[in-house]
């Protein structure tokens, strides 16, 4: 069906070009707002009517006649109807829709995927500092980042997954101090416990029990291994540097366990400290100064970020000689560009919104050839967790928030991924733990997975009687002429375009919407037509259709990082 669509689209372009030179570029099919109106809608007549000074309905009729005269339309189109002020509705013949079944079964896991485009893209996500377990917000970011990587991969990009974190900042010092006090026998609430300088009334730095666990393992001189580091504790509670290194390695290991439970992997872990030790921060500042994009005022160094659309100039180096947090970000992104990543996507919380303008301003001002709008950003909101009708805010593990591993243990990896991807990233989301464990149609991930398992059960029953699924790709599909069957085939044909649009817009929630719609369409088809009937030709055609449906469900779930079970 997809190759038929491309042929029909070329025919439309030719017809438009004949009506008005240059108009062929307007050739496009839209989905009718009402499915009963047809399979494709064309609005080009209304778009061209004004510049051509013609009545749009009359122009629509001319276009309709031109399409009817084309052999490709005569072969695959059942009817072309003119509606309203100039809409053209195209209704395909059943045999045209049936071709999608062959295309899916032939392509299998590659259905919807594009060829390697030779371009590299770096997606940075999670990037949590190693100061505690990953919370649910990190989980949303992990789900988003991994799904966006998978989407870009389907479109031919060579995807690089990167985790960036600060291993030597103020928060790390606080972590080390908190751990040292625990190792010395103190606890939260004691007079010596670290005080938050921004909130003197608070004595709550890192109060979770995980700090006590780190301290105990440090005193035991244990060795911890993370994906990007390994360290053996000295066991000396006075050795703050050893405590710092051990705590970072310990918590990176804990984060690895969280990510492994979530089935998320990274190609590279990038340390913020390396930007300083390698001189990249100093080099970035020198570039900005040499370009005349900085100035000194009140003992501080400022960036002329207003030259690039920011609402005010930004301090780069404070009066105490330390850099503000966006300066290493500028250096980091220059490094990404120099590594050959012409496309970069950052997945971050909405609290990073204010950094976008100043980072992009710094990159433009540095004059290293980076284009405007680099990098792309996907910002997400935090997540509320509800269990038993009550919001859950406290974790025994973390002390002050629900961790990602808590959520996975309460529900499942699949439920957490699907739920966290089921809304646009910048919309508030409430994760209902009770809904996520239900085994009914109200639970969206169960509903989609059950559709796949239901089909696999049918195919297994048929195989047990001697059926060969591999032969379904060549069976006669003409029996698939009912309305429910055609509706399912039309929806299967929408998968590649949906995938392409979702990748372009960094919108994995579109995949969840599509999968729910496809599962619903399949369940309706199953209720309308029995699959394993006596008539061999009808049975084989219907088996081919449901096998294609299972394949697309599997492909879409794979993009989300969700399993496609064969039994439930």
Give tens-digit pLDDT for 508-523.
Answer: 999 999 999 999 999 9
Peptide bond preceding 375: is omega within 30 degrees of 0, i.e. cis? yes
Torsional sign, CA 91, 94, 95, 99? positive
Residues whose CB falls within 8 Å of the CB of residue 563, separated by 6 or more in sequence, listed in order: 414, 449, 557
* 391-to-140, 313, 384 alpha-carbon distances in Å: 17, 41, 7
Architecture of domain 441-560: Orthogonal Bundle (1.10)
d(CA 422, CA 407): 16
Total residues found in the chain within this entry: 568
- What angle do the packed helices 483-493 and 94-107 form, to 10 degrees? 50
What's the pLDDT at 202? Answer: 46
What's the pLDDT at 372? Answer: 93
What's the pLDDT at 281? Answer: 96
Residues whose CB falls within 8 Å of the CB of residue 329, separated by 6 or more in sequence, listed in order: 355, 359, 362
Q: Which helix (H) or strand (E) holds 162?
A: strand 158-165
At 449, give phi and psi (nearest 5°): -65, -35
Summarize pLDDT for 123-177 with one digit per residue, the tens.
999 999 999 889 999 999 999 999 999 999 999 999 999 999 998 888 899 899 9
What's the pLDDT at 2? Answer: 80
Question: How many C-alpha atoms does 84 have within 13 Å on its Cβ side?
Answer: 11
The rounded percent of the chain whose pLDDT value lies above 70 is 97
What's the pLDDT at 196? Answer: 59
d(CA 537, CA 478): 9
Calculate Rg over the CA atoms of the chain.
29
d(CA 64, CA 417): 46
What's the pLDDT at 201? Answer: 44
Summarize pLDDT for 378-415 with one digit per residue, the tens.
999 999 999 999 999 865 555 668 889 999 999 999 99
Q: Which helix (H) or strand (E) holds 349?
A: strand 343-349
d(CA 27, CA 44): 7
Residue 204: how many other CB atoms lie within 10 Å: 15
What's the pLDDT at 397? Answer: 57
d(CA 145, CA 137): 12
CB 192 within 8 Å of CB 203: no
DSSP-derived 3-state class of residue 151: helix
Give the alpha-carbon dihedral of 499, 500, 504, 510, to 10 degrees.
Answer: -30
Residues whose CB falls within 8 Å of the CB of residue 249, separated by 6 or more in sequence, listed in order: 224, 225, 226, 229, 230, 231
Give the alpha-carbon dihedral of 312, 313, 314, 320, to 10 degrees.
Answer: -130
d(CA 288, CA 362): 8
d(CA 436, CA 410): 9
Q: Where are the domains of the chain?
A: 2-92, 441-560
d(CA 433, CA 411): 7
d(CA 246, CA 225): 10
Residues whose CB falls within 8 Å of the CB of residue 185, separated by 6 or more in sequence, listed in order: none
User: Could you tell me the two tokens for 485?
Assistant: 């069957």
Residues whose CB falls within 8 Å of the CB of residue 26, separated by 6 or more in sequence, listed in order: 16, 44, 47, 48
CB 317 within 8 Å of CB 323: yes
CB 214 within 8 Å of CB 244: no
Instruction: Give the angle 486-491-495 at the CA atoms, nearest 5°.
Output: 145
User: What CATH number should be reported for the domain whose range is 2-92?
Assistant: 3.30.1360.70
d(CA 463, CA 268): 44
DSSP-derived 3-state class of residue 452: helix
Adjacent-strand bridge partners of 40: 90
d(CA 555, CA 568): 18
CB 340 within 8 Å of CB 160: no
Pairing of the two strands 40-42 and 87-92: antiparallel
The residues of the chain scoring below 50 in pLDDT are 201-203
CB 87 within 8 Å of CB 41: yes
């Amino acid at each position: 069906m997809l190759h038929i669509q491309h042929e029909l689209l070329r025919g439309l372009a030719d017809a438009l070009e004949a009506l008005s030179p240059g108009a062929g570029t307007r050739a496009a099919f839209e989905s009718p707002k009402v499915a009963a109106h047809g399979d494709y809608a064309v609005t080009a007549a209304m778009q061209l009517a004004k510049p051509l000074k013609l009545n749009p309905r009359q122009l629509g009729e001319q276009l309709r006649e031109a399409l009817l005269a084309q052999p490709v339309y005569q072969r695959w189109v059942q009817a072309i109807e003119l509606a309203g002020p100039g809409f053209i509705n195209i209704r395909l013949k059943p045999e045209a829709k049936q071709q999608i079944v062959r295309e899916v079964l032939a392509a299998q896991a590659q259905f919807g995927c594009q060829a390697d485009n030779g371009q590299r893209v770096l997606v940075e996500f999670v990037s949590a500092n190693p100061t505690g377990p990953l919370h649910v917000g990190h989980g949303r970011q992990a789900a988003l980042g991994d799904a966006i990587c998978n989407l870009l991969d389907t479109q031919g990009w060579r995807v690089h997954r990167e985790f960036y974190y600060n291993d030597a900042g103020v928060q790390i010092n606080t972590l080390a101090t908190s751990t040292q006090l625990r190792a010395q026998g103190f606890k939260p609430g004691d007079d010596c416990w670290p005080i938050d300088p921004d909130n003197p009334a608070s004595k709550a730095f890192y109060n979770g029990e995980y700090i006590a666990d780190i301290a105990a393992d440090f005193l035991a001189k244990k060795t911890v291994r993370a994906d990007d580091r390994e360290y053996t504790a000295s066991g000396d509670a006075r050795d703050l540097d050893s405590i710092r290194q051990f705590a970072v390695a310990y918590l990176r290991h804990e984060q690895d366990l969280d990510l492994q439970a979530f089935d998320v992997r990274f190609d590279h872990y990038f340390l913020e400290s390396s930007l300083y030790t390698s001189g990249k921060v100093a080099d970035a500042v020198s570039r900005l100064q040499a370009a005349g994009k900085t100035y000194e005022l009140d003992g501080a160094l400022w960036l002329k970020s207003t030259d690039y659309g920011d609402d005010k100039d930004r301090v780069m180096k404070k009066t105490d000689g330390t850099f503000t947090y966006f300066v290493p970000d500028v250096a980091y992104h220059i490094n990404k560009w120099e590594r050959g990543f012409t496309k970069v996507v950052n997945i971050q919380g909405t609290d990073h919104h204010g950094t976008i303008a100043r980072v992009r301003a710094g990159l433009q001002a540095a004059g290293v050839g980076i284009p405007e709008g680099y990098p792309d950003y996907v910002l997400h909101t935090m997540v509320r967790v509800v269990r038993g009708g009550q919001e859950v805010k406290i974790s025994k593990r973390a002390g002050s928030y629900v961790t990602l591993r808590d959520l996975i243990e309460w529900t499942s990896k699949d439920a957490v991924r699907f739920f966290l991807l089921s809304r646009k990233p910048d919309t508030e989301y409430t994760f209902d733990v009770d809904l996520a464990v239900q085994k009914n149609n109200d639970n969206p991930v169960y509903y989609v997975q059950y559709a796949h398992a239901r089909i696999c059960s049918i195919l297994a029953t048929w195989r047990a009687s001697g059926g060969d699924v591999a032969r379904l790709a060549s069976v006669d599909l003409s029996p698939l002429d009912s309305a429910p069957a055609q509706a399912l085939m039309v929806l299967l044909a929408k998968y590649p375009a949906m995938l392409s649009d979702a990748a372009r817009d960094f919108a994995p929630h579109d995949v969840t919407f599509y999968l729910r719609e496809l599962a619903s369409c399949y369940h309706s088809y199953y209720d309308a037509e029995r699959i394993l009937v006596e008539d061999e030709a009808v049975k084989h055609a219907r088996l081919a259709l449901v096998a294609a449906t299972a394949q697309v469900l599997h492909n879409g779930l794979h993009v989300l990082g969700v399993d496609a079970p064969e039994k439930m």
